[in-house]
Chains A and B, each alone.
Chain A
Amino acid sequence: MPTTEQFTALFEPRGVIIAGASTHPGKFGFVTLHNLLAGGYPGKIFATNLEGTDVLGVPTVPSVADLPAGEADLIFLCTPAKANPQILRDAASIGVRAAFITSAGYGEAGEAGQKAQDELVALADELGLLVAGPNGQGVVSSPARLCAQIVAPIPPAGRIGVASQSGNFVSSFENYAVQTGVGLSRGISAGNAVCVGISDYLDYYADDPATAVGLAYVEGVQDGRAFAEAMRSVAERKPVVVVKGGATAGGQKAAASHTGSLASDDRVFDGMARQAGITRTPTVEEAFEAAATFATQPLPKGNKVVVLTTVGGWGVAAADAIAGTDLELAELPADLYDSIDSLLPPRWSRNNPIDLAGGETRDTIPEIISLVTAHPEVDAVLYLGIGIQSNQAALLRTGGFYPDHGIERMAGFHERQDARYAEAACDASDTYGKPVLIATELAVTHPDNPGPRTVRERGRLAYASANRAVTALDHLWRYRRWRDARGLG
């Protein structure tokens, strides 16, 4: 496994060399330099190009050996595989400690490629270089403002650390980060992962102060035992979310035992994941939402959930979703019941889900969110119905009568209220150290609605539906239980 110093060279380099910088905007050697510059990387940037022409205003030299020593920690290779050994030797000789190789032509390219790959592994060892890839799409690191990748976008900064066996899934998670505002700390496309595997990156994230949760896409595992042990060690330190590709591969065809005939790759992987404390999700979007929740909400101490809603049907749907998980709807404690009753007219639901049934006044929702979250018998809160007022405000603003008839004042009031509700929910979560999740379809249908927008501005995920919030919260609870059962606190 690479050393912390090598990982630091990869994720926090003082300078970066782009080998094979190109003047052609369709080439990796152009795109990488472009993205690095576009991301505002503050360290020194060097580039090589056989012709020695400037690229995007960056001067180039023909060879890495021509660059000053001790200025760059990371080299990013957009060069043909056959040129790479000499480039890596030159890089090591000027103090580079980490390399990211985009080049294809290795293990994925037949016998000759396999030979080149074996030689690459030996060379990395010889030079003491961390070699990421080959055949990968790049690396991002928000604390270093480093976006060295051949794909878009530049993700917002956050606390999710991504490692993926498919480069495109790094990009997918970055896209979700852009959409939701819940950002990444680090991201790496592991490519062929010949020297550094997914579990190695996750192990680094586990001790990385910038990262709160690991998020990985995994297809194949070389050594299952080693992977399981590494993942368990990661999960003991931080939550880790894994989505496994190829999960439906067939079972043991020729098993002589009944146990063997019931075994399948997927079931064994699933059992391994549960044992190791991995949060495994069936889909990519669920993986992101689980990771975003780990990154932005405290872990629940128990499984008692209160649903607070101004939209009756969504409350019922949330209760149904909770019934399908290990979470439970809390029985409303008598004192909490009385407190709520004193704030609302008699028509409120009088049980959980707490349906305010339109009985709220200006301050009711923030007050009840705080009361419910504070109560010792409540472990988590799901708040539904945010944004409805602002949604109407948007129509008032565009319906042809604005700003007359008092519309201007009313629209502003609605919008301020939704922002207040979001603030109150986030404040309650921060104050009492409990997860408070806010769900509304407006988060995706009208992301600029002040309700979900404020949730986003507070750095939290606005869930697109109650059931998706419940699924994410259930992942947190399962992880909490895994820790508790093993005395991990």
Chain B
Amino acid sequence: MTPLRLPAVPTLSEADSKALLASHGLPIAAEKVVDSVDDAVAAAGELGHPVVVKLGGDSIAHKTERGLVRLGLADDAAVRTAATDLLAAATPADGAVHLLVAPMIKGNREFIAGLHRDPQFGMTVMLGVGGILAEAVADVTFRLVPIDAVDAADMIDDLDTQRLLGEFRGEAAVDREQLAAVLLALSGAATDDPRIVSADCNPLIVTADGAPVAVDALVELGAH
């Protein structure tokens, strides 16, 4: 049983988290935030199927654990059903909620990137191999914020699982410059916005053409 979280450290919604990080250069997929089932269906039509629909809100931090993410919705009917179910799943504790509609990003490789404020060294930026085994594998590397382009390239070189960065299962090699841009965007966000306590871009999916895309993000803010 997870203990109740006190609202001492506010988290931004996924949409706001992405918007904040995207403003510093984080590559994210086009997505739409809507309030109703009909608007969700329309948004999916504009983005093109298949889509993913998630329930969002400032108080909703762990969507996957609560089943608030619906993947691979292939047509209007599927979007309608998912959107209806998700809105019904909201609880009073969630406060204001919305639906986040985004194209379904596919790729065999997942990374994780983020920010963490270390008690001794202050704000750090991280890159790691992602996926469900991320914490068990723990192929991660940290640097102190701010980083420069050389540091970002070094971080990518630091990962033990270098084979994931080359051509992989018919997918192009990871675009290292774009992956470095993710890290530089995180570092820039932390430098410019001292309210940021932590950030996760998890997963950061590498598409078939090698481009990393943050399909989920979570930013925690605190007093500074």
A residues lining the B interface (CB < 8 Å): 221, 224-225, 228, 252, 255-263, 265, 267-272, 274-275, 485-486
B49 within 8 A of A: no
CA distance A267 to B113 in the complex (A): 14
Give chain A residues whose Cβ lies under 8 Å from the Cβ of B122.
224-225
Binds A, one of B52-60, B74-82, B138-146: B138-146
Q: A232's closest neighbor in chain B, by CB?
A: B144
Q: A269's closest neighbor in chain B, by CB?
A: B121
CA distance A484 to B137 in the complex (A): 31
Contacts A224-B121, A262-B140: A256 and B9 contacting too (C-beta < 8 A)?
yes
Give chain A residues whose Cβ lies under 8 Å from the Cβ of B13.
none
Other A-B contacts than A221-B120, A259-B126, A272-B142, 20 sampled, CB-CB below 8 A, are A224-B120, A225-B144, A228-B121, A256-B61, A256-B198, A259-B115, A259-B198, A259-B199, A259-B200, A259-B202, A263-B118, A263-B124, A263-B142, A267-B140, A268-B121, A270-B141, A271-B124, A271-B141, A272-B121, A274-B143
B112 within 8 A of A: yes
Contacting pair B199 A257 (CB below 8 A)? yes
Give chain A residues whose Cβ lies under 8 Å from the Cβ of B112.
258-259, 262
CA distance A261 to B200 in the complex (A): 11
Give chain A residues whose Cβ lies under 8 Å from the Cβ of B128.
262
Contacting pair B150 A485 (CB below 8 A)? yes
Ranked 10 nearest A-B pairs via Cβ: A259-B114, A271-B142, A224-B121, A224-B120, A257-B198, A259-B116, A263-B116, A485-B150, A260-B116, A268-B118
Q: A485's closest neighbor in chain B, by CB?
A: B150
Contacting pair B120 A255 (CB below 8 A)? no
Contacting pair A274 B154 (CB below 8 A)? yes
B135 within 8 A of A: yes
27 contacts between A and B (CB under 8 A): A224-B118, A225-B121, A225-B122, A228-B121, A255-B116, A256-B5, A256-B61, A257-B114, A257-B200, A257-B220, A258-B200, A259-B112, A259-B113, A259-B116, A259-B200, A262-B128, A263-B116, A263-B118, A267-B142, A268-B118, A268-B120, A268-B121, A270-B141, A270-B142, A272-B143, A272-B144, A275-B147
B31 within 8 A of A: no
CA distance A224 to B144 in the complex (A): 10
CA distance A311 to B198 in the complex (A): 54
Give chain A residues whose Cβ lies under 8 Å from the Cβ of B140.
262, 267
Contacting pair B143 A271 (CB below 8 A)? yes
Give chain B residues whose Cβ lies under 8 Å from the Cβ of A224.
118, 120-122
Give chain A residues whose Cβ lies under 8 Å from the Cβ of B89.
none
Give chain A residues whose Cβ lies under 8 Å from the Cβ of B154.
274-275, 485
Give chain A residues whose Cβ lies under 8 Å from the Cβ of B118.
224, 263, 268
Give chain A residues whose Cβ lies under 8 Å from the Cβ of B158.
271, 274
Least distance between A208 CB and chain B CB atoms (Å):
27
B residues lining the A interface (CB < 8 Å): 5, 9, 11, 61, 112-116, 118, 120-122, 124, 126, 128, 134-135, 138, 140-144, 147, 150-151, 153-155, 158, 198-200, 202, 218, 220
Give chain B residues whose Cβ lies under 8 Å from the Cβ of A267.
140-142
Q: B151's closest neighbor in chain A, by CB?
A: A275
Least distance between B162 CB and chain A CB atoms (Å):
11
A263 touches which of B9, B126, B218 (Cβ 8 Å): B126
A257 touches which of B116, B141, B142, B143 (Cβ 8 Å): B116
Q: How many A-B residue pairs have CB under 8 A?
A: 93
Give chain B residues whose Cβ lies under 8 Å from the Cβ of A258.
112, 114, 134-135, 200, 202
CA distance A255 to B147 in the complex (A): 23
Most chain A CB neighbours (cut-off 10 Å) among B9, B115, B199, B200: B200
Q: B203's closest neighbor in chain A, by CB?
A: A258
Contacts A257-B116, A258-B114, A259-B126: A486 and B150 contacting too (C-beta < 8 A)?
yes
Least distance between B188 CB and chain A CB atoms (Å):
16
CA distance A231 to B153 in the complex (A): 21
Give chain A residues whose Cβ lies under 8 Å from the Cβ of B142.
263, 267-268, 270-272
Least distance between A297 CB and chain B CB atoms (Å):
24
Most chain B CB neighbours (cut-off 10 Å) among A228, A255, A267: A267
Give chain B residues whose Cβ lies under 8 Å from the Cβ of A265.
120
Give chain B residues whose Cβ lies under 8 Å from the Cβ of A225.
121-122, 144
CA distance A225 to B128 in the complex (A): 23
Give chain A residues whose Cβ lies under 8 Å from the Cβ of B199.
257, 259
A275 touches which of B120, B126, B143 (Cβ 8 Å): B143
Contacting pair B115 A256 (CB below 8 A)? no
Give chain B residues whose Cβ lies under 8 Å from the Cβ of A228.
121, 144
Contacting pair B144 A262 (CB below 8 A)? no
Give chain B residues whose Cβ lies under 8 Å from the Cβ of A252.
116
Least distance between B140 CB and chain A CB atoms (Å):
5
Least distance between A244 CB and chain B CB atoms (Å):
12
Least distance between B213 CB and chain A CB atoms (Å):
17
Give chain B residues whose Cβ lies under 8 Å from the Cβ of A260.
116, 198
CA distance A224 to B118 in the complex (A): 9
CA distance A90 to B200 in the complex (A): 58
Q: B158's closest neighbor in chain A, by CB?
A: A274
CA distance A481 to B177 in the complex (A): 19
Most chain B CB neighbours (cut-off 10 Å) among A225, A257, A274, A275: A257
CA distance A262 to B199 in the complex (A): 12
Least distance between A96 CB and chain B CB atoms (Å):
35
Least distance between B114 CB and chain A CB atoms (Å):
3
Least distance between A277 CB and chain B CB atoms (Å):
11
CA distance A224 to B220 in the complex (A): 23
Contacting pair A275 B134 (CB below 8 A)? no
Contacting pair A262 B121 (CB below 8 A)? no
Give chain B residues whose Cβ lies under 8 Å from the Cβ of A271.
124, 141-144, 155, 158
Give chain A residues whose Cβ lies under 8 Å from the Cβ of B198.
255-257, 259-260
Give chain B residues whose Cβ lies under 8 Å from the Cβ of A262.
112, 126, 128, 134-135, 138, 140
Least distance between A325 CB and chain B CB atoms (Å):
13
